[in-house]
Amino acid sequence: MIPGSFDYHRPNSVREAVGLLTKLGEEARVLAGGHSLIPMMKMRMASPEHLIDLSAIGDLKGISIERDTIKIGAMTTQYELIHSDILTKHLPIIAETSLVIADPQIRYKGTFGGNVANGDPGNDMPALMQCLNASYELTGPGGARQVAARDFYQGAYFTALEADEILTAVLIPVPHSGHGYAYEKLKRKIGDYATAAAAVIVTMSGGKCTSASIGLTNVSDTPLWAEEASATLVGSSLDKATVDRAVAAAEAITDPASDMRGPAEYRTKMAGIMMRRALERAASRAKG
């Protein structure tokens, strides 16, 4: 399979990349790892006339921590997320999630920014970013602005990103140091998108849940932040009756498609089961 013809650009700065995007208009696409876009181009489901490769822009790489916020450059690869000392120490759920994305080869090339910006409901990082209440830095001709991950996704492949903007970084508030975490993903095989998946962060104190946040992957046109389910857990001891109510609240906001991964009803139930398993594991990891 051979993609349609295009012109290739490799700018050295964000400013230059945004300039190209503005000048070339709708016929241009940015290229990050390429492992979502290139397959689409090979199948001729995408035929951009210009590709703007972001790989030479050093500013888009790297992971840093400043006070209570972790900043991850958009072109940081999944492999780099998995091997980051900062993330291992402060935010291990990122590596746990990266490790169930695609396969080793794709994780060398696939980027964090591409995963969150693409708007594919099958991608795993968006629900995790909603769970963590992350913000995306979007840079356009007028400068940078921030949009919360919880407000970014509008539909499958539709996001708050404007045509002349590039998602340049993700900002994540560092959770409480004793937090428990887990990402549970049901998939048919290595490399598959989720039938359903759940990200859970909890903090515990004296046997009581003091905060909880839950994100759900691939059970709607967009990632889902299960706000009511999260709130249901707070103040409880995570007893079975409370967890049952929270799971029901999470299942109620899902709206999955029936597809080769199973009928909609099954995928809704699997979202509940992934949430239940993630919550159990997160609670067992929480200190306090």
Partner 1 sequence: MSKSHIQLTINGKKVEALVEPRTLLIHFLREQQMLTGTHIGCDTGHCGACTVEVDDMSVKSCMTFAVQANGANITTIEGMANPDGTLSALQEGFRMMHGLQCGYCTPGMILRAHRLLQENSNPTEDEIRHGIAGNLCRCTGYVNIVKAIQYAAAKINGTPFQEAAE
Nearest distance from residue 7's CB to partner 1, in Å? 6
What are the distances in angstroms from CA 215 to CA 128, 150, 196? 6, 10, 11
The half-sphere exposure of 268 on its side-chain side, counting CA atoms within 13 A, is: 14
Nearest distance from residue 118's CB to partner 1, in Å? 15
Nearest distance from residue 38's CB to partner 1, in Å? 5
Quick note: the x/- pattern for partner 1 over 196-235, rule CB under 8 A, is: ----------------------------------------
Does position 45 interact with partner 1 (CB under 8 A)? The reply is no
Nearest distance from residue 232's CB to partner 1, in Å? 36
41-57 exposure pattern, b = at least 16 Cβ within 10 A, e = fewer:
beeeebebebbbebbeb
Of these, 16, 19, 20, 34, which contacts partner 1 (CB under 8 A)?
34
H/E stretch holding 166 reads strand 166-173
Write down the residue that tokens 């029901």 correspond to.
Answer: 248
Does position 191 interact with partner 1 (CB under 8 A)? The reply is yes
Quick note: the x/- pattern for partner 1 over 62-81, rule CB under 8 A, is: -----------------x--
Phi-psi region of 42 (alpha: psi -120 to 50; beta: other; left: phi over 0): alpha
Dig out the tokens for 277 from the structure.
């398993």
Of these, 8, 67, 85, 206, which contacts partner 1 (CB under 8 A)?
8
Phi-psi region of 117 (alpha: psi -120 to 50; beta: other; left: phi over 0): alpha
Total residues at interface with partner 1 (CB under 8 A):
29
User: Which stretch, 3-11, 62-70, 177-185, 245-253, contacts partner 1 (CB under 8 A)?
Assistant: 3-11
Nearest distance from residue 226's CB to partner 1, in Å? 30
Does position 35 interact with partner 1 (CB under 8 A)? The reply is yes
User: Which stretch, 4-12, 136-144, 193-201, 263-271, contacts partner 1 (CB under 8 A)?
Assistant: 4-12
Q: Is the distance from CB of 66 to CB of 55 less than 8 angstroms?
A: no
Does position 120 interact with partner 1 (CB under 8 A)? The reply is no
Q: Is the distance from CB of 249 to CB of 179 less than 8 angstroms?
A: no
d(CA 52, CA 90): 33
Residues lying near partner 1 in the complex (CB under 8 A) are found at 1-8, 10, 31, 34-35, 38-39, 41-42, 51, 53, 55, 79, 102-106, 108-109, 190-191
